[in-house]
Amino acid sequence: MTAEPVDWDAGEMGCGELVLELRLRLRERAPHSLFHLIATDPGALEDLPAWSRMTGNRLERSEHPHYWFRVKE
């Protein structure tokens, strides 16, 4: 577990809805800022890294259910 602040705890939200909401939340963030997400859905293990590659929001670190993204420009 980490002591870093969590920007969003998505809980068990399914990945389809999760990535849509994540996209909206990252749009509100400053470029290059770090965003810490908690996603417990088992599909997040594969879906979030794939989403990161497709969108350019870099996945800095992942330790399921914790994911840290670097917001793109």
Query: Domain spans of the chain?
Result: 8-70
Q: What is the pTM of this model?
A: 0.90
Q: What's the fold here for domain 8-70?
A: Translation Initiation Factor IF3 (3.30.110)
What pLDDT sits at residue 3?
53
Beta bridge partners of 62: 67
For the packed helices 15-27 and 44-55, what is the interaxial angle rounded to 10 degrees?
A: 40
What pLDDT sits at residue 5?
82
33/60 Cα distance (integer angstroms): 11
44/4 Cα distance (integer angstroms): 20
- Is the pLDDT confidence value at 21 over 60? yes
